[in-house]
A and B are shown apart, each in its own frame.
Chain A
Amino acid sequence: MKIRAIIDWIKNANAYATEVYNAPYRSAIARAKRDEDDLFMMLVFSELMGVPNPASYYTLELQPLLLERFHQWHLRMGMEHSPLDGFRCC
């Protein structure tokens, strides 16, 4: 019983330490990741913008999966509706 309490305490301390480690740089890292994700999304939707994409056979499947992220992206870029013709997400 005592051992379990100690293990719990260690787990708790570890969770706090992880939070302390991550909190200061959370935003910088999340932003870098978001930029990379945006690049990937651009590749997936590239044909819609008239850029030929040799992998479109594969990326077509991904389009519906990225719809939610696309919606967030155009809101983040200050556009109320989708900027692409014939492509509505909202």
Chain B
Amino acid sequence: MNAILLMLLGLGAMFLGYVIYSKFIAEKIFKLDPNFRTPAHEFEDGVDFVPTNKYVLWGHHFTSVAGAAPIIGPAIAVIWGWVPAFLWVVFGTIFFAGVHDAGAIWASNRNKARSIGALTGDVVGKRSQSLFMIVIFLVLLMVNAVFATAISGLLINFPSSVVPVWGAIFVALIIGQVIFRKWMNLGTVSILGVVALYALIYAGPSFPITLPETVFGVSDNAQWILVLFAYAAIASLLPVWMLLQPRDYINGLQLFIGLFLVYGAVLISGPELVAPAFNTNVPEGTPSLVPLLFVTIACGAISGFHGLVASGTTSKQLDKETDLRFVGYFGAIGEGSLSLATIIAVTAGFATLADWQAVYHSFGQGGVTAFVQGGANILQNGLGLDVDLAQTLLTVMAVLFAGTTMDTGLRLQRYIFQEWGNIYNIKWMEKAAPATLLAVGTCLLLAFGAGGADGSGGLLIWPLFGTTNQLLAGLTLLVITTMLVKLGRPMYVTLIPLLFLLVMTIYALLIQLMGFYHKSDWFLFSLDLVVLIAAIWIALESAGVLTRLVRENKATKAS
């Protein structure tokens, strides 16, 4: 099949989802009211609560949720063929992610813009709230370990990207100063910044940098991981205007340019999909499609991380309640389109089936490296870019995404440690530097504990990360469903995704648990067990709360 057809089908279906299904959700289920006084107006303080233009808010929401995860997940999952990955991304976006993201904003908006974590405590129960904290902590822990591994792999596979990747950080630092000191207006700075970044990318292939194979017995992979965590720790301690803010802005621009380039190149060159539609000849050791597909692709189909962004910051800036349909649902579609671009890149970006099979020689392979290779081939055929240059371009895009997520993740983890220090009265833990060290320490433990001393095994926990992320989404869906039941509205639009997620995550956890047991990998076995207990707990809580509410509803109707 031709990639153009796949692209049009996918984008068309998601667009229809926005036009039809999200309208149904907004009008019949959430019953959005343009006259509702949103928290942004009610508590307007110029700090947290600021009514914001819906397009600006969408840009903010979308760039916060889009990271490397919607690239890595689908790039691993096409090992089962492109049809399952394509269907899950498209239908997941339409019926799961869009409803989940918009619903999280809605739930928060109707509850004084409280975060989903706090809402779990109010709407569902205190026990669930503690559970929520644990799940968030695990997600952050895994995301940092996984992304560090993914980035180090990229930097080793594509040495031409080392200069632009680290150069981009200097560009961001300069932009931060220029804007902060008001030396230039932002339009000029944006153009100069993008030009500088692309000049670095252009220069990258001429100055490839590789680390020595071992330093003090530490492999190059592990060296990069250590460097990355050192960077992330420093970045998470700097004031946000210095590095994070300009870098996020540049990343946002990169994201749109990258999507535009990849889709444009597909349209021009019209490559054929070389990967099989359903891969009947999967490499040995590949787990079964059901349930692993649904946890391998988390971001891009449905991701609990979005709920945190939606309820944490987005809901506090909502100008009108009706805006949340665009911000939440269309934000999910933006993410889905990034995953779709990935699927096309990793299935149509290889010349022959044999080339594709060489990359996907075992489960967990492919990933973001395949995205860079395949995407670069498409860019070369479509736009005539030199392949080295195209690879550098896509690597920089992926690394910057993953890097942003890493230091944001580390910052959030530090907050959790500081909060624990506060709760349990451990004075030193309340300080920023020791809390950051603790956060880095736990992440390193996971990155190296999972895959041995060379740190190459971090991607082993990818499915486990997906599972935990789905659990988080499950908790958010539980909150939304509970609210809908309390309002006496139909609950099926969120209950069915919730049940589906719970069944798939528990099933996937059991399968992985067996796998770790057979491999005697006790480290991951215990981690899996913790997540499994959390999952079963959530399932029981959901059942308990929902049956009680439905019974109460019936009783009030009868009386």
Q: Which residues in A have some Cβ–Cβ distance to B below 8 Å?
A: 10, 13-14, 16-21, 23-32, 34
Contact of A29 among B64, B240, B248, B313 (CB under 8 A): B240
Q: How far is the CB of A10 from chain B (nearest CB, A)?
A: 7
Query: Given A14-B185, A29-B240, are A20 and B48 also a contact pair (CB < 8 Å)?
Result: no
Name the B residues within 8 Å of A21 (CB-CB): 179, 186, 245, 249
- The reply to whether B240 and A28 form a contact with Cβ atoms under 8 Å apart is yes
Query: Is B369 positioned at the interface, with any CB of A under 8 Å from its CB?
Result: no
Stretch of B54-62, B133-141, B296-304, B542-550 with 4 or more beta carbons under 8 angstroms from chain A: B54-62
A86 to B57, CA, bound (A): 46
Kindly name the residue among A13, A14, A28 whose own CB sees the greatest number of chain B CB atoms within 10 A.
A28
8 nearest interchain CB pairs?
Answer: A14-B187, A30-B47, A25-B245, A27-B48, A17-B186, A18-B186, A28-B240, A19-B56
Min CB gap A34→B, angstroms: 7
Pairs across A and B, CB under 8 Å, 18 listed: A14-B185, A14-B186, A14-B187, A16-B56, A17-B190, A18-B186, A19-B52, A23-B52, A23-B56, A24-B63, A24-B313, A25-B241, A25-B245, A25-B248, A26-B46, A29-B241, A30-B46, A31-B47
Check if B244 is an interface residue, CB within 8 A of chain A.
yes
Interface string of B35-56 (1 = CB under 8 A from A): 0000000000011101011011
**Complex Cα–Cα for A26 and B190 (A):** 19
Q: Does B239 interact with chain A (Cβ within 8 Å)?
A: yes
Interchain CB contact (< 8 A) of A24 among B47, B179, B187, B245: B245
User: Does B252 have its Cβ within 8 Å of any Cβ on chain A?
Assistant: yes
In the assembled complex, B317 has its CB within 8 A of some CB on chain A: yes
Given contacts A14-B185, A14-B187, A23-B52, 18 further A-B contacts (CB under 8 A): A14-B186, A16-B53, A17-B187, A17-B190, A18-B186, A19-B56, A20-B56, A20-B249, A21-B179, A21-B249, A23-B56, A24-B63, A24-B245, A24-B248, A25-B241, A25-B245, A32-B239, A34-B47
Cα distance, A51 to B245, chains bound together (Å): 38
In the docked arrangement, what's the CA distance between A26 and B46, Å? 8
A34 proximity list for chain B (CB < 8 A): 47
* Distance A16 CA – B241 CA, assembled complex (angstroms): 18
Q: How many residues of B contact A (CB 8 A)?
A: 29
CB distance from A6 to the nearest CB of B (A): 13
B166-183 residues at the A interface, CB under 8 angstroms: 179
A27 touches B252 (CB 8 A): no
Min CB distance A47 to B, Å, is 29
- Give the chain B neighbours of A31 by CB distance below 8 A: 47
Chain B residues whose C-beta falls within 8 Å of the C-beta of A10 in the assembled complex: 187
Q: Kindly list chain A residues whose C-beta atoms are within 8 Å of the C-beta of B186.
A: 14, 17-18, 21
Cα(A39)–Cα(B241), bound, Å: 20
| Nearest CB in chain B to that of A32: its residue | B239
Q: How far is the CB of A50 from chain B (nearest CB, A)?
A: 26
8 Å CB contacts to A: which residues of B236-266? Answer: 239-241, 244-245, 248-249, 252
Partner of A20, one of B59, B244, B316, B317: B59
**Nearest-neighbor residue (CB-CB) of A30 within chain B:** B47
Instruction: Given A17-B187, A20-B252, A21-B179, check contact A26 B50 (CB 8 Å).
Output: yes
**What CA separation (Å) do A76 and B218 show in the bound complex?**
51
* A21 and B188 alpha carbons, distance in the complex (Å): 13
CA distance A10 to B191 in the complex (A): 13
Chain B positions within 8 Å of A23 at CB level: 50, 52, 56-57, 60, 317
For B59, list chain A residues within 8 Å (CB).
20
Q: Give the distance to chain B from A30, nearest Cβ to Cβ, in Å.
A: 4
Contact partners of B50 in chain A: CB under 8 A: 23, 26-27
Q: A13 is contacted by which of B187, B249, B313 (Cβ under 8 Å)?
A: B187
Chain A residue contacts of B47, Cβ below 8 A:
26-27, 30-31, 34
B63's nearest neighbour on chain A, judged by CB, is A24
A24 x B60 contact (CB < 8 A): yes
- B312, chain A: closest CB distance, angstroms: 10
A88 to B316, CA, bound (A): 33
Chain A residue nearest to B59 (CB atoms) is A20
A78 to B308, CA, bound (A): 27
Instruction: For the complex, give the distance between the alpha carbons of A25 and B408 in Å.
Output: 12
Residues of B within 8 A of A13 (CB): 187
| Residues of A with C-beta under 8 A to B316 | 27
Query: Cβ of B249 and Cβ of A27 under 8 Å apart?
Result: no
Closest to A31 in B: B47
CA distance A63 to B57 in the complex (A): 39
Q: How far is the CB of B208 from chain A (nearest CB, A)?
A: 33
| Separation of A31 and B185 alpha carbons in the complex (Å) | 24
A24 and B48 in contact, given A10-B187, A14-B187, A16-B56 (Cβ under 8 angstroms): no
* CB-nearest residue of chain A to B180: A29
